[in-house]
Structure 1
Amino acid sequence: MAKELKVALIQSSLIWENPEQNRTNFSKKISSISSDVDLIILPEMFTTGFTMNPENLGKEQGPLTLEWMQKISREKKAALTGSLPFYENGSYTNRLFFVKSDGNYHHYDKRHTFTLAGEDKVYKAGSERLIVEYRGFRICPMVCYDLRFPVWARNTENYDVLIYAANWPKPRIAAWDTLLKARAIENMTYCIGVNRIGIDESGHEYPGHSAVYDCLGKQEAFSEKEEVVYTVLSKEHITSTRNQLKFLEDRDTFNFSE
């Protein structure tokens, strides 16, 4: 069982509704990662920006991006995760893929679609959480607006890492900063948020603030610019902290099917 998980967060601007160019750009950024990493995290809708017009992209773009993720993951010998518009069974979802270096993958469909932007009218909401077992760590990946809903993230399965891939705009960035730290503390887990930067086609500005918090709420990494951010997660830190501070044993239980 691995004692550490080496993670790279890619905080980047995105080209509006241009999957091919975004894949090319991220290929270059990922190829520049010189140190060995176990997991690479991309923002929400990393091939398009936060578009409400997925029909403009072509239904084939989702599978093409998944194939690209599998190729990159094999080449870097690391897992790769991020979300994208994906068409399946007559509907679009905001689907996060967690792709492993052997080509196997898991997916999670964003549970809380962003009603303020009309995401609920364009993308079908997911109904199941995802817990990925990876290199001795239990990882729970989520997407952007999910961050505002603590019950959905409640750590009833003793996961070690909570991830949010996001397009979180500048006017509400204080909520992003606060809630990432809160999710780490209340769930006694590492909490990682990966946001984009730049201005999208709708004029929304994104300031980054990608960050990593440990299970006590200590900030391990933070960035406001276009760059790759590195962090190392310690299994021993999680285990020893939970053994000393048994707060999770007093947690409430929830039935997610209700």
Structure 2
Amino acid sequence: MSTTLKLALIQTDLYWEDPVSNRKMFEEKIEGISSDVDLIVLPEMFTTGFTMKPEKILLSESKGTFDWMKKIAQQSNTALIGSIIFQENGKFFNRLFFVSPDGTVEAYDKKHTFTLAGEDEVYEAGSEKLIFEYKGFKICPMICYDLRFPVWSRNVEDYDVLIYVANWPSKRINAWDTLLKARAIENMAYCVGVNRTGTDGLDYEYPGHSGIYDVLGEPLAFSKDEEILYATLNKEHVTSTRKQLRFLEDRDRFSLIG
């Protein structure tokens, strides 16, 4: 079983509602990443930006990007994770995919759709939390607005890594920075957040601030620039810190209903 997990976070501007251009851009960036990276993390809606006009995106693009992720994972021998617009049974979802080089796929639909932007009126909300294992690490992926809801991310499964993919705007970036650290500390897990940069088609600005925080909320990587961030997560850091500081054993016992 592996005791380390090497991450690469791609923090970049996005082409507005243009899956073809975004896939090409990400493919070029991924080609420049070291082959010993285990997991590449992409932003929320990484092929379109945070659009509330999913009907403008061709139906074929959902499957096209999903197939692209499988191809890149296999070619680079590196797992990919990120969310896209996904159309299924006549409904739209903000769906995150994890794709490993061996073809293993996991999917998560954003639980907390962003009502301030009307996401709840356009995209179907998910209802199932996802925990999966990769390279000896238990991983819990979430999407953007989910970050504001600590009960949803509450670590009752003893996961090791919490990942947020986002399009988080400049005007509320202090909340992003603060809550990523809080989620790491309260769940005694690595917390990873990847955000985009640039300005979208609605003139919202995004400042990056992607970061990786350890079990105690200490930063391992942080950037405001358009770049690729790297960090190595260590399983021993999780187990030894939890053994020394047994805070999770004192967590409140309750269950979510509905």
For residue 245 of structure 2, what is the aligned residue in structure 1? 245
For residue 69 of structure 2, what is the aligned residue in structure 1? 69
Deviations 1:67-100 (A, max 9, x none): 0000000011111000000001121000000001
For residue 41 of structure 1, what is the aligned residue in structure 2? 41
For residue 158 of structure 2, what is the aligned residue in structure 1? 158
One-letter identity of the residue aligned with 1:193:
G
CA root-mean-square deviation: 0.7
Distance in 1 (CA, whole Å) between partners of 2:124 and 2:250 is 34
1:69 match: secondary structure: helix
Q: CA deviation at 1:102?
A: 1.0
Contact (CA 8 Å) 1:156, 1:253: kept in 2 or not?
Answer: no
For residue 141 of structure 2, what is the aligned residue in structure 1? 141
Deviations 1:101-154 (A, max 9, x none): 011201000000000000000000000010011010000000000000000000
For residue 103 of structure 2, what is the aligned residue in structure 1? 103
What are the equivalent positions in structure 2 for 1:101-250 lying under 5 Å apart?
101-250=101-250
Distance in 2 (CA, whole Å) between partners of 1:253 and 1:37 is 37
Distance in 2 (CA, whole Å) between partners of 1:193 and 1:177 is 9
Q: CA deviation at 1:252?
A: 1.4
One-letter identity of the residue aligned with 1:116:
L
2:106 match: secondary structure: strand
Distance in 1 (CA, whole Å) between partners of 2:34 and 2:172 is 34
For residue 255 of structure 2, what is the aligned residue in structure 1? 255
One-letter identity of the residue aligned with 2:18:
N
Q: CA deviation at 1:58?
A: 1.0
Distance in 2 (CA, whole Å) between partners of 1:254 and 1:56 is 42
1:66 match: secondary structure: helix
For residue 50 of structure 1, what is the aligned residue in structure 2? 50
Aligned sequence identity (%)? 64
Distance in 1 (CA, whole Å) between partners of 2:90 and 2:57 is 15
Q: CA deviation at 1:224?
A: 0.6
Deviations 1:11-41 (A, max 9, x none): 0100000001100000000000024100000
1:147 match: secondary structure: helix
Query: Where does structure 1 differ by over 6 angstroms across 4 or more consecutive aligned residues?
Result: none
One-letter identity of the residue aligned with 2:77:
K
Distance in 2 (CA, whole Å) between partners of 1:61 and 1:256 is 35
Q: CA deviation at 1:254?
A: 3.4
2:201 match: secondary structure: coil
One-letter identity of the residue aligned with 1:253:
R
Distance in 1 (CA, whole Å) between partners of 2:193 and 2:217 is 13
Deviations 1:220-251 (A, max 9, x none): 10011111100000000000000000000011
Distance in 2 (CA, whole Å) between partners of 1:56 and 1:248 is 45
TM-score for the superposition, normalised by structure 2? 0.99
2:146 match: secondary structure: helix
Q: CA deviation at 1:257?
A: 3.5
Aligned residues: 258
TM-score for the superposition, normalised by structure 1? 0.99
Distance in 2 (CA, whole Å) between partners of 1:87 and 1:207 is 29
Q: CA deviation at 1:60?
A: 1.2
1:6 match: secondary structure: strand
One-letter identity of the residue aligned with 2:74:
R
For residue 92 of structure 2, what is the aligned residue in structure 1? 92
One-letter identity of the residue aligned with 2:111:
R
Please say if 1:10 is aligned against 2:27.
no
Q: Which runs of 5+ in 2 are unaligned?
A: none
Contact (CA 8 Å) 1:195, 1:208: kept in 2 or not?
Answer: yes
Moved more, 245-254 or 46-55: 245-254
Q: Which runs of 5+ in 1 are unaligned?
A: none
